[in-house]
Amino acid sequence: MYRKIPIIPLAVIGVVVAALTVGQALLIDWLPAAESAEAQRTSDLLWVLFWSSTVFFVIVTSVLIYSVWKWRVKDDDLSDGPPIHGNTMIEIVWTVVPTIVLVAVGVYGYIVMDRNEAVAADRLTVEVYAQQFNWTYGYPDAGIETGILVVPEDRQIQLNLRARDVIHDFWVPEFGIKGDAVPGITHTLWITPTNQGTFPVICAELCGAGHSVMRSQVKVVSPQAFAAWLARSSAAVKGDVADGTTVVESIR
Ligand SMILES: [Cu+2]
């Protein structure tokens, strides 16, 4: 009753669909470079999800395109199609395989989330204050506030996000993580920068007329440079008017 599987036409369609799908995945630069351990884990997960989805997308779409082309009825054919009972084996396969795949990616996703939110004992805590339309960063131990976020590489940073007026959203694309700053609530993000450099801090929540210019920078520096900067800034303010930004801008 079941005809042989039309391997050749399905393979031709499959190659075309796969080329289009893989082409748009590889030719477009979808993600910024991962500059934190969390971003690396998240993008690895994303690409595992993408490539496993691609396999099933190509199979399903190829069969669909072939079926539409092969069994299309004539325009004036209004008769019922032949009664088909089904195929128990196929139904078992397309239930069991997706179940296994979904459980596997679910477990992988849980592991990534769990590791990204594991709090390190030696983490550095920085207070992040969002307000229309700028960012301020507080280092409670050093007693300074700055307009640029300075952090050491290879050490976990705990960012306590707060808003002084309306809802904002702290986002560094290269760090792969963002979080809302909500009035009256403190949200926490953990980020472990893996490379030195300067990256943009962007407000990702429409917060008023100046939202599009609500930007600042994060500078990731060596642990030695960070310690020196912190000591210098702390000495400069000495409990007086915080002018850490000037000192921050002098950091290489
Ligand atoms: Cu905003």
Q: Please answer whether residues 149 and 215 qualify as being in contact, where contact means their C-beta atoms are separated by less than 8 angstroms.
A: no
Q: Are 128 and 244 found together in one domain?
A: yes
Alpha carbon 191 to its chain's center: 12
Q: Is 207 contained in some domain?
A: yes
Domain of residue 214 covers 124-249
Q: Are 98 and 132 found together in one domain?
A: no
Q: Distance, CA 175 to ligand 1 centroid (Å)? A: 18
Q: Are 134 and 58 found together in one domain?
A: no
Q: Are 59 and 137 found together in one domain?
A: no
Q: Are 111 and 131 found together in one domain?
A: no
Q: Distance, CA 179 to ligand 1 centroid (Å)? A: 12
Q: Distance, CA 207 to ligand 1 centroid (Å)? A: 4
Q: Is 81 contained in some domain?
A: no
**Dihedral angle computed from the Cα positions of residues 188, 191, 197 and 201, in that order, rounded to the nearest 10 degrees:** -30
Q: Is 11 contained in some domain?
A: yes
Q: Are 131 and 200 found together in one domain?
A: yes
Q: Distance, CA 135 to ligand 1 centroid (Å)? A: 10
Q: Are 155 and 100 found together in one domain?
A: no
Q: Are 90 and 155 found together in one domain?
A: no
- Kindly list the strands in the beta sheet with 144-146, ordered across the sheet, starting from the edge strand earlier in the chain: 144-146, 134-139, 124-131, 157-163, 187-191
**What integer pLDDT is reported at residue 238 of this predicted model?**
61
**What integer pLDDT is reported at residue 4 of this predicted model?**
79
**What integer pLDDT is reported at residue 244 of this predicted model?**
45
Q: Is 107 contained in some domain?
A: yes
Q: Distance, CA 166 to ligand 1 centroid (Å)? A: 9
Q: Are 159 and 241 found together in one domain?
A: yes
Q: Are 60 and 132 found together in one domain?
A: no
Q: Are 52 and 147 found together in one domain?
A: no
Q: Distance, CA 38 to ligand 1 centroid (Å)? A: 23
Q: Is 23 contained in some domain?
A: yes
Q: Are 132 and 237 found together in one domain?
A: yes
Bridge partners, 177 (sequence order): 172
Q: Is 1 contained in some domain?
A: no
Q: Distance, CA 167 to ligand 1 centroid (Å)? A: 8
pTM: 0.80
Q: Total domain count for the chain?
A: 2
Q: Which residues surround ligand 1, an ion (CB under 5 A)?
A: 168, 203, 207, 211, 214
Q: Distance, CA 169 to ligand 1 centroid (Å)? A: 7
Q: Closest by alpha carbon to 187, among 146, 145, 127?
A: 127
Q: Distance, CA 165 to ligand 1 centroid (Å)? A: 11
Q: What is the pLDDT along the chain (252 residues), one digit of tens a residue?
A: 456 778 888 999 999 999 999 998 889 888 899 999 999 999 999 999 999 889 989 999 999 999 999 888 888 888 888 888 888 998 999 899 999 999 999 999 999 999 999 999 999 999 999 999 999 999 988 888 999 999 999 999 999 999 999 999 999 999 998 999 999 999 999 999 999 999 999 999 999 999 999 999 999 999 999 999 998 888 877 654 444 445 544 454
In CATH, what number is assigned to the domain containing residue 166? Answer: 2.60.40.420
Report the DSSP pairing between strands 134-139 and 144-146: antiparallel
Q: Distance, CA 26 to ligand 1 centroid (Å)? A: 32
Q: Is 2 contained in some domain?
A: no
